[in-house]
A and B are shown apart, each in its own frame.
Chain A
Amino acid sequence: MNVLTMKASIRKELWEFKKILTWVPVALAVLIFVIPALNFFLHDIDTYALFVRFERMVEFQYSHAAEVEKIFFVGLISLFAPFLVLSTIVQLYYFLTCLYDERRDQSVMFWRSLPVSDSLTIMSKLITGALVIPAIFFMVATLVLITILIFALIGCIVLSIGYDISLWGMWVSSNIISAASIIWATLLPLAIWLLPLFAWLMLASMYAKKAPFLWAVLPVVALLLVEGLAVHYLDLSQPFIGSFLLEYFAIAPEHVNTSEIATGMDRLVPFKAIASNIDFSTAFMSAVLFYATYWLRVNKGES
């Protein structure tokens, strides 16, 4: 596979979806700063209470270092979570339109007249949707984090020099880089876990002549309804497909190892909970759906 062509193809996808990939995360980042700022300006701040809280934090940062680490990690997850949610919505939109739009505007004829294989095209769209898009959102989230940390640093300096309140222990206890790295590392298992869903949406995007969203949703709904009726009227124990989908896409509590929380490995729990859902069926379903998408791309006449 030609690396330059792959890079060019991914860049082409980013050009096409440039507006949504720029403005959605930026708008969210702005909101993250604007809402607390509005809160700050619209409500009176009790400075005495604030300083009392800082004094307590001074003691807390040394006596409960492990707690500080947990609180920071939860805060980090809270910061990244809205970006992840929006990223997932954009990803779903991307996969539904990435093969449909170019057929609708007939540009597929132009792209396919160039020496780029269909397999590379599909692979580039997959990489863009599964990894590059969430990476862009995480990048913006990380920039927000860095900005917050810069404000925190300035705050620490002011408190330290002006008021003799030292919160520097917080920085040590928080393990900022390792916490952020763990969240970034979750991207890969997340992408693999959702691969069958992405592949299904790409197939709908490739197959649909109109309304790819309906092509993505209605067959699944119809299948579940038929299966539900069969279970009801044939007195079967439970719907196989329905249970399978429910189990696959659920982050079930049994996947979280409570002993790890006790031993301080709790920061890896989200990573492991997602990774535990990945199995043979992930690879099998994804492979079948991707091959079907590729086959349609190669064999479906577009003019």
Chain B
Amino acid sequence: MSPLISINKLSKSYGNKNVVSNVDLTISAGQIVGLVGPNGAGKTTCLQAILGLTDFDGDIDVLGHHPRKDRVKMLNDVAYIADVAILPKWLKVSQALTYMQDVHQNFDMEKAKVFLEKTNISLSDKVKVLSKGMVTQLHLALILAIDAKVLILDEPTLGLDILTRRQFYSHLLEDFYSEDKCIIITTHQIEEIEHILTDVAFIQEGKIVLSESAEDIRERFKLLAVTNEHVEQAKELKPLFSNSLMGLTTMLFDDADKDVLQSLGNVSVPSLADIFVGVMTKEIC
């Protein structure tokens, strides 16, 4: 399958500070990629480079377009949500729909209206009277009504309650996702989206430290719950991360032999959050 987004040797620096260094990433249709990293890791900079919102070194190809040179054409097929509160307060819902209809050739107003009918948002409402969750729903309605090939979400559910967050992702899958599209998401709440991700890329200090399919990652990493008597033996296998609590030690292993681990304790599939913490901290006990 041909990639929708190809990133080769993406680098970006502000003065002497390298924010992103030599990032390589390829995203194809059907993929939902979680770009996960701690604060300041370079996630937003990567996304902004993909959107042509910032200059960069290296090559990026989005649907055959260069994000900087061909930004307007590219944005006909790329949709973007960043944080939650970026819709201007003076804007009315009806005005937002009309404007989108006029400037976006792939915007379907009826689809947006159908989505909004499921919410408490009225067409005559102004953004300033909407709650944070409603603003996100409105933004989502505008974005989901675009027949885009690529959807980029930068911390889209930041500051929202858990109900709204879940609703957001369920709408995303029901109303937007299909096999010919791809989604890139950055979020801190990785545990909430790990069930929808097909691929994961961990980014740390501007570098991709792990990029694999979610399935491969779950096979590659193993979580071992080991009792005190086997701790020393387990440590010899060099876990990425270890955590002791109430007499039970949990260790994360990368590419360890499952049979050997099973002889030491209970082996389970770690969550992406566990793997993220392990890879980011990399204590190597």
Compute how far the CA of A9 lies from the CA of B95 in the bound complex, rounded to whole angstroms. Answer: 11
The residue of chain B having its C-beta at the shortest distance from the C-beta of A301 within the complex is: B54
B166 on interface, CB distance cutoff 8 Å: no
A9 to B79, CA, bound (A): 19
Contacts of B102 in A (CB 8 A): 4-5, 7-8, 11
Q: Is B238 an interface residue (CB 8 A)?
A: no
Q: A107–B88 contact, CB under 8 A?
A: yes
B282 / chain A contacts, CB cutoff of 8 Å = none
Does A164 interact with chain B (Cβ within 8 Å)?
no
Known: A102-B88, A105-B88, A106-B85. A113 touches B103 (CB 8 A): no
Residue from A4, A7, A115 in contact with B75 in the complex, judged by beta carbons closer than 8 Å: A115
Is the CB–CB distance between A114 and B104 below 8 Å?
Answer: yes
Bound Cα distance from A113 to B86, whole angstroms:
11
B82 touches A115 (CB 8 A): no
Does B71 have its Cβ within 8 Å of any Cβ on chain A? yes
A66 proximal to B (CB < 8 A)? no
Query: Which residue of B72, B73, B89, B139 is within 8 Å of A105 (Cβ)?
Result: B89
Chain A residues with CB under 8 Å of B139's CB are 110
Instruction: List the B side residues contacting A9 at CB < 8 Å.
Output: 103
From A116, A117, A299, A303, name the one whose CB has the most chain B CB atoms within 10 angstroms.
A303
Contacts A114-B104, A301-B54: A106 and B86 contacting too (C-beta < 8 A)?
A: yes
Given the known interface contacts A301-B48, A303-B48, the answer about A114 and B87 at a Cβ–Cβ threshold of 8 Å is no
Known interface pairs A114-B75, A115-B76. Does A107 touch B104 (Cβ–Cβ under 8 Å)? no
Residue-wise interface mask of B (100-113) relative to A, using a CB-CB cutoff of 8 A (1 in contact, 0 not): 10111100000000
The answer to whether A5 and B103 touch (CB under 8 A), given A106-B85, A109-B82, A112-B53, is yes
For A7, A110, A302, which residue has the most chain B Cβ atoms within 10 angstroms?
Answer: A110
A114 to chain B: which residues have CB within 8 Å?
75, 100, 103-104
- Cβ-defined contact, B80 with A115, below 8 A: no
Given the complex, which residues of A lie within 8 Å of B95, measured CB to CB?
12, 15
A102 contacts which chain B residues (CB < 8 A)? 88
Q: Would you list which residues of chain A between 1 and 60 have a CB under 8 Å from chain B?
A: 4-5, 7-9, 11-12, 15-16, 18
Instruction: Known contacts A112-B53, A116-B72, A303-B48; decide if A107 and B86 are in contact (CB<8 Å).
Output: yes
* Chain A proximity mask over B144-176: 1 for CB below 8 Å, otherwise 0: 000000000000000000000000000000000
A114 (CB) vs chain B CBs: closest residue: B103
| Chain B residues whose C-beta falls within 8 Å of the C-beta of A112 in the assembled complex | 53
Q: Is B51's CB within 8 Å of the partner chain A?
A: yes
The answer for the CA separation of A112 and B102 in the assembled complex, in Å, is: 15
| Smallest CB gap from A303: residue in B | B44
A113 touches B79 (CB 8 A): yes
Contacts of A117 in B (CB 8 A): 71-72
Contact string against A for B residues 57-86, beta-carbon threshold 8 Å, 1 for contact and 0 otherwise: 000000000000001111110011111011
- A264-303 residues with Cβ-Cβ distance < 8 A to B are 299, 301-303
A180 to chain B, nearest CB (A): 33
Residues of B in contact (CB 8 Å), total 34
CA distance A286 to B87 in the complex (A): 31
Instruction: Please indicate the chain B residues that have their CB under 8 angstroms from the CB of A301 in the complex.
Output: 48, 53-54
Which listed residue (A16, A116, A302) contacts B103, Cβ 8 A?
A: A116
* B92: Cβ under 8 A from any A Cβ: yes
A interface, by DSSP: helix, strand, loop or mixed? helix
* CB proximity of A4 to chain B, nearest CB, Å: 6
Which residue of the partner chain B has the closest CB to A111?
Answer: B88
- What is the bound-complex CA distance between A116 and B100, given in angstroms? 11
Complex contacts, B83 vs chain A, CB 8 Å: 106
| Complex alpha-carbon distance, A141 and B95, angstroms | 28
* B103 → chain A closest CB, angstroms: 5
Give A115 to B105 CA distance when docked, in angstroms. Answer: 9
Complex CA distance for A62 and B34, rounded to whole angstroms: 85
- What is the CA–CA distance of A278 and B51 in the complex, to the nearest angstrom? 40
Nearest Cβ distance between residue A5 and chain B, in whole angstroms? 5
- Considering only CB atoms, which chain A residue lies closest to B107 in the complex? A114
Within the complex, the shortest CB–CB distance from B51 to chain A, in Å, comes to: 7
Contact with A along B125-153 (1 / 0, CB 8 A): 00000000000000100000000000000
CB neighbours (8 Å) of A18 from chain B are: 90
User: Which residue on chain A has the smallest CB distance to residue B79?
Assistant: A113
* A8 adjacent to B99 (CB under 8 Å): yes
Contact A109 B86 (CB under 8 A): yes
- Cα distance, A107 to B54, chains bound together (Å): 16
Of A11, A110, A299, which contacts B87 at CB under 8 A?
A110
B68 to A, closest residue via Cβ:
A298
- Separation of A12 and B51 alpha carbons in the complex (Å): 23
Q: How far is the CB of B184 from chain A (nearest CB, A)?
A: 14
* Residue in B54, B85, B102 with the greatest tally of chain A CB atoms within 10 Å: B102
B55 at the interface (CB under 8 A from A): yes
Q: List 18 A-B contacts (CB under 8 A).
A: A5-B103, A7-B102, A8-B102, A9-B103, A11-B98, A12-B95, A12-B99, A16-B88, A105-B88, A105-B89, A107-B87, A110-B82, A110-B88, A112-B53, A113-B81, A114-B75, A114-B103, A115-B73
Binding site for B on A (CB under 8 A): 4-5, 7-9, 11-12, 15-16, 18, 102, 105-107, 109-110, 112-117, 299, 301-303
- 5 closest A-B pairs (Cβ-Cβ)? A8-B102, A107-B88, A113-B80, A115-B75, A110-B86
